[in-house]
Structure 1
C-alpha cells in the first residue's frame, strides 16, 4: 500500500519512472519525512512551496523565481544580487554544499542564473554566474561541476592582470544534456541540445547539437546519430 501511494506521489510530481519493488518501506518513510521537513522549511523561510535542506542561505530572495517542486539541498548558498532574475524551473534540483555567486566584484553587477524545467545538478557545484549561466530543460549533471562565466583580460603587459578587467560572454547549455562529474565550463562555452559532456572535461568553446565532448580542452569525441 505504501509503495502504491509513493508511486502516485512520484507521478504527481512529474516523475515517470517505475519504483524498484525491492525498495523497503523504511526508506520510503524516511524520504517522506525528509521531504516534509524540507517543504516546511521552505514555506517558513521563503513563503513558497520550495524544498529546502538545512543551512541553506538565500540572499536577495525577491530576485528569485521558483517553479514547482524546486529542491535546494543542505548547506547551499545562493546569491540573488544580479541584474536579471534568478530563474529555477519546475522540478529543478541543486545539490548539497553548492554555491551561486551572481556578483563577484563591486566593479560589475552580475547577470545571474537560469535553470530550465527538470534540470538537476549534484553536490559541491560552483556557479560563478557573474557573466550569466543559462541551463536548458532536462539537463542532468554530476557533482563537483564548476561554471566560470567571466575570464580575465591579460593582453596589456604594462598593467597588472587584475587591473585589466574581464570578459563576460556567459555560458549556455542546451536541452537534454548529460554532464559528467567534475566538468569545468569556462566563459563563452556553449553546448548544444541532446549532447553529453564527459567527466573531467574542461569546456571552452561552442559545440553543436547531438555530440559527445570530452578532454582538456574539450573536443568532439563522436556524433550521436
Structure 2
C-alpha cells in the first residue's frame, strides 16, 4: 500500500479517535479538553469531581471503583486501576506506564513516574488456617503510600503496608516489602537500600 495512503488513513483514524474522546469529555465533564479517553478504555464507579483536568486514559486501560485522580495524570495503555472496597488516589502530574496494575488501598503522590509492568497491591490474602482454603479466609489491607517525586522502574512490585518516601527510586525488578526512607535508591529481592540521593 502506498505510504501516502497509509499516512492519510492514520490521520483519519486519529481524528475520529480524538473526536470520540472530545465528545465523551464534553458529555461527562462539560469541557472538550477536560479528559482524554482512548480506544476500549473504561471507567466505572468514579464521581464526576474525582478526575482532574488534562488527564489521559489510553487504549485498553480500566479504572474501577473509588479512584481520585489529580490534574495532568497520564495513564498509558493496558493499565488496570481497581480500588475494590477501598480507595486509590493519584496526585498531579503523575505518569503510569503500560501494563501496570494498581489494586486495593493505594495513595500515590504528585510527580510520580511509574514504569511499565509495575504491580502495586495494597492488600494481602489471609492464609493462617491450613484447614481452610486461602481463598475462603479473605484478605487484609494496610495500604500503600507512594510519596511525591518517586520513580518506580520497570517490573517492580510494591507490597501491602509499604511507604515509599519522597524523592526515592525503586530499581528495575525490585520487590519492595518494607518502608523506603525519603531520597533512597532501593533494589533487589527483597529490596534493600543501595544508596541515598542526598549523599555527596
| TM-score for both structures, normalised by structure 1 | 0.75
Q: Which blocks of at least 5 consecutive residues in structure 1 are unaligned? A: 1-25, 104-109
Q: Is the 8 A contact 2:75 2:98 kept in 1?
A: yes
* 1:98 is the counterpart of 2:118: no
* 1:122 is the counterpart of 2:97: yes
Q: Is the 8 A contact 1:41 1:52 kept in 2?
A: no
State the secondary structure of the residue aligned to 2:129: coil
Q: Is the 8 A contact 1:41 1:51 kept in 2?
A: no
State how far apart, in whole Å, the 1-side matches of 2:46 and 2:140 are.
27
Q: 1:216 to 1:63 in 2, by over 3 A?
A: farther
- In proportion to residue count, which structure has more strand? 2
Q: Is the 8 A contact 2:123 2:143 kept in 1?
A: yes
State how far apart, in whole Å, the 1-side matches of 2:17 and 2:134 are.
47
Q: 1:64 to 1:189 in 2, by over 3 A?
A: farther
State how far apart, in whole Å, the 1-side matches of 2:17 and 2:149 are.
26
* 1:53 is the counterpart of 2:38: yes
Instruction: Tell me by how many angstroms 1:42 deviates.
Output: 3.7
Q: Is the 8 A contact 2:28 2:48 kept in 1?
A: no
State the secondary structure of the residue aligned to 1:100: strand
Q: 1:163 to 1:39 in 2, by over 3 A?
A: closer
Instruction: Tell me by how many angstroms 1:165 deviates.
Output: 2.2
Q: Which blocks of at least 5 consecutive residues in structure 2 are unaligned? A: 1-6
Instruction: Tell me by how many angstroms 1:205 deviates.
Output: 1.1
Q: 1:123 to 1:201 in 2, by over 3 A?
A: same
Aligned to 2:118: 145
Q: Is the 8 A contact 2:80 2:102 kept in 1?
A: yes
Instruction: Tell me by how many angstroms 1:46 deviates.
Output: 2.7
